[in-house]
Amino acid sequence: MAGGVGSASEDFVPERQAFSAVDEAPDPGLLIANMDAADAYPAVERLRAWAADALTLRSGDRVLDVGCGTGAAALALASRVGERGHVRGIDASALMIGEATRRSADYANTVFEVGDATALAFADGSFDAYRSERTLQWLADPDLAISEAVRVVRPGGHIVIVDTDWGTLALDYPDNEVARRYHAVHWPVPLNRWSGRRLLNQFRDAGLVSIDITAETIIATEWDPDATLGVRGLPPFVRQAEGLHVLGFFSEDEAARWLDTLAARARADRFFVAVTMFAVSGQKDNT
């Protein structure tokens, strides 16, 4: 078997296995590594390039990156705003901010700090542009986060938000009933599992103009269960199996069989998983 599924344990806390509580995770380094791995998907790279272009940045612009994580996307924008510009990243996780600060040591025009996406500590119109990626899905009030984005961007400024739609998660599994139950589970996906599909109308409701939308699908067709616990960018399958059991969706035997079947299919070159991400851009009305 690719791993073990033990009996229900109080040590397993679903919220601590994900990015809603990085600083409380049993192994935050694993979450950081998982984020780096997800960043390397071509679909993510294409969405980030689209988002950066949609911000229409110029030399001297001030950019806010909310939910900045390790700072990778923010640092990529630093060259676009030049020495006179400024990129500020905020994240709820002090560990992520520490990692972003470490990685930005050679960037004079970037600053990273702990902050709350739904209560930004900045004056109205402080920024020329705002971006956020894979953050709203973890928030209890994503609409408030978008309202804050509109508030801190100047009239005419641009806002781009990228998020996963976990309702599009497709894991090929031969037992249709087990597959149905797996896809109905809200863990290990975030609070707002349909965040991606809701972005367009959230932008409309926020009064943004010149709205545009695009999408990319992350696809993984290989997994070596003898070398890794899961595919890059997704929760390890061993942890998923444990969660499915602890939370009562699968019995211990069902969880073990689910894990064994995935591993066997991967070894037989029959593995497939995919999930779609959406990106929406808009402009704050000048009037």
Domain span at residue 126 reads 14-283
Residue 6 lies in a domain: no
Calculate the alpha carbon distances from 186 to 133, 167, 195, 197, 247 in Å: 20, 10, 13, 16, 10
Residue 5 lies in a domain: no
Residue 155 lies in a domain: yes
Residue 1 lies in a domain: no
Distance CA 287, CA 171 (A): 47
CATH code of the domain in which 95 resides: 3.40.50.150
Distance CA 275, CA 279 (A): 14
Under DSSP, is residue 261 helix (H, G, I), strand (E, B) or coil?
helix
Contact 259/238 with Cβ under 8 angstroms?
Answer: yes
Domain count, the chain: 1
* pTM of the shown model: 0.89
Residue 278 lies in a domain: yes
Provide the terminal-to-terminal Cα distance of the chain, rounded to the nearest Å: 62
Beta strand spans in 172-262 (E): 209-220
* Residue in 276, 157, 286 with CA at minimum distance from that of residue 218: 276
Residue 7 lies in a domain: no
**CA dihedral of 102, 39, 215, 141, whole degrees rounded to 10:** -50
Distance CA 48, CA 56 (A): 13
Across 224-254, b (16+ Cβ under 10 Å) vs e yields ebeeeebbbbbbbbbbbbbbbbbeebbebeb
Residue 107 lies in a domain: yes
Residue 2 lies in a domain: no
* Residue in 87, 88, 99 with CA at minimum distance from that of residue 29: 99
- Residue count (the chain): 287
Contact 7/252 with Cβ under 8 angstroms?
Answer: yes
E strand or H helix that includes residue 132:
strand 127-133
Mean per-residue pLDDT pooled into runs of 10, the chain (287 residues): 46 50 67 85 96 98 97 96 97 95 96 98 98 95 98 98 94 94 76 93 98 97 93 86 88 95 97 97 93
Neighbouring residues of 180: CB distance < 8 A, sequence distance ≥ 6: none
